[in-house]
Amino acid sequence: MKKYSALILTLVVIMTGVVVIALTFALRSASRQSSPTRPENNQIENGTEPQDMLQVEEPLRLVATSGKSGEFTVFIEANDVEVNAFAFRVYVSESMGDVVFTPNDELVQAGWTFPVNEITEDEQRSLDVAAAYVSPDAYPITEGQLILGTLTVENLDTELNIDEGISKVVSKDGKIYPLEFVSEISTQ
């Protein structure tokens, strides 16, 4: 019995790794077609989308709220959604200085993995954040918010620019939830 449990866990870890690699590859290949000011360029040119494989759902909200100087808490707002992976891209302007993403410790402890890549392409810097839940089950967002982590920027007096065209949440049952970005800067 232990042999089968270990085999199943190994397969889950391998499949999660494949999902993380696929999300990273998708972010990189989409960057060749994407523009920070025109995310609609990411749509497939022939007008057809590969909905045979994955079902596209209503968008979820990706929210960044500023707390103390230079830090944004990044979270997904959702109700009754079970997720297994997410990815988003933050465009980094020169005025922002260094940008660092720190994952939520609770998610890391629960089994999430967070590959984060800084990419420079055609003099445009971006921070690609992807995550996968390494478990045979989906991770539930029962009500409210799933805090993903913290974005720390050197200069808070700049606007965050997230590429909505390639920012997505994926569920275990094959549903894709696009992410609509909202930045809420508080005066605290």
Please list the alpha-helical segments (H only) found in 146-185: none
Domain membership flag for residue 103: yes
Domain membership flag for residue 43: no
Cβ proximity of 46 and 165 under 8 Å: no
**How confident is the model at residue 51, as a pLDDT?**
46
Of 188, 133, 163, nearest to 27 (Cα)? 163
- Give pLDDT tens digits for 87-134: 999 888 777 778 889 999 999 999 999 999 888 887 788 889 999 998
Which of the residues in the chain have pLDDT under 50? 31-52, 187-188
139, β-bridge pairs: 83
- The domain tally of the chain equals 1
Pairing of strands 112-113, 116-121: unpaired
Of 62, 122, 65, 110, nearest to 88 (Cα)? 62
**How confident is the model at residue 171, as a pLDDT?**
86
Domain membership flag for residue 112: yes
**How confident is the model at residue 23, as a pLDDT?**
57
**How confident is the model at residue 18, as a pLDDT?**
54
**How confident is the model at residue 27, as a pLDDT?**
54
Domain membership flag for residue 62: yes
CATH code, domain carrying 120? 2.60.40.680
**How confident is the model at residue 69, as a pLDDT?**
67
**How confident is the model at residue 10, as a pLDDT?**
59
Distance CA 48, CA 46 (A): 6
Cβ proximity of 104 and 159 under 8 Å: no
Residue ranges making up the domain that contains 154? 2-36+50-184
Predicted structure pTM score: 0.66
Domain membership flag for residue 141: yes
